[in-house]
Amino acid sequence: MSALSARLAWPWRRPRVGIAFSPHMLLALRAENGARAVRRDLPPGLLVPGAVTPNIHSVREVAQLASGMVDELSGRGGTAAVLLPDLTVVSAVFPASQGVAERELGSKLAPRLGFPASEARSGYWRGGKGEVLGAAVREAVVRQYEQVVEAAECRPGWIDAASLVRIPSWGEASASDPGTILVEALLYRSHYALAIFRQGELIGVRTRLRSGDDVDAVAAEIRRLPAIYDIPALGAVVLSGEGASACARLLSEPPLDARLSFEDGGEERQLEVALAALLQRS
């Protein structure tokens, strides 16, 4: 997302790292090719994602973990791009027919926020067909994550959401398969995110909570998408993450007639892919 970020003009010789936050772990990656990701597990309750209230119970404790990761990547003194948990961000898709401009995003997103629009930091992505994905995060929420980065002696850089950061590459994949309605499904431990494309055009983004081993509920939600978005049928469904193969098995049963593919990489794998995308764009 463009305006969500505080993109900064630091010299490129400075180290660049990306840090992904989730309720279960921190994951960090350095920008150089071939760099390995480092992980730190979080105790339950230390970080609880949400769009309205501050998420981090103790910024100091999370910052200590992040500092160790930055040191391990030799990234101190550099710029750190940030992947926020999906549940911290409010988003909406506006079709090209609405002609939404960047200056209008605040008023368009305001009814969805659950907090005063004056306290929102917003950004957008414009797709190849003219559609706009708008996103906003509350200033009090995002500042905690920036404070963690600053305590690790890095300067906050590009900021995006764990699933939204992958929208541009998914849009390109959809555009290369004309006539197909594509669903990209990312399955995390506590939630899942769906992005729906029609011939390269993003038509919807949905984020839902998960409860235990509930792949049947995920599959049911995917089956409902044609009715929700008034589309004839799904052409392809790509599932990645926690329980992806089990969800694919459920979706392979009639009446769903779509190409299915899956990757059981777990949450860490999905965050690592998202970090790589974030660092490529930042």
CB contact at 8 A, 119 and 141:
no
In this structure, the dihedral spanned by the alpha carbons of residues 72, 78, 80 and 81, taken in order and rounded to 10 degrees, is: -130
Name the amino acid, one letter, at 247.
C
Tokens standing for residue 15:
């180290």
Cis bond upstream, residue 255 (ω within 30): yes
What percent of the chain is modeled with pLDDT above 70?
94
Residue with tokens 């849009």: 171
- With 80 as the cut, is the pLDDT of residue 281 above it? yes
Vertex 129, ends 91 and 181: CA angle to 5°? Answer: 80
Average pLDDT for residues 210-232, to the nearest whole number? 93
Strand pairing report for 155-161 and 79-84: parallel
pLDDT at 33: 60
Poorest-confidence range of 1-15, 16-30, 197-211? 1-15
- With 50 as the cut, is the pLDDT of residue 3 above it? no
The domain segmentation of the chain, as residue ranges, is 166-270
**CATH class of this structure's domain 166-270:** alpha beta
Give one DSSP letter per residue of 88-117, joined into a string: G-EEEEE-GGG---GGGHHHHHHHHHSS-G
Average pLDDT for residues 240-269, to the nearest whole number? 91
Q: How far apart are CA 282 and CA 2, in angstroms?
A: 10
Count CB-CB contacts under 10 A for residue 204.
Answer: 17
Q: Model confidence over 40-50: pLDDT tens digits?
A: 999 999 999 99
Name the amino acid, one letter, at 46.
L
- pTM for this model (two decimals): 0.90
Helix (H, G, I), strand (E, B) or coil at 201: strand
Average pLDDT for residues 2-7, to the nearest whole number? 47
- With 70 as the cut, is the pLDDT of residue 259 above it? yes
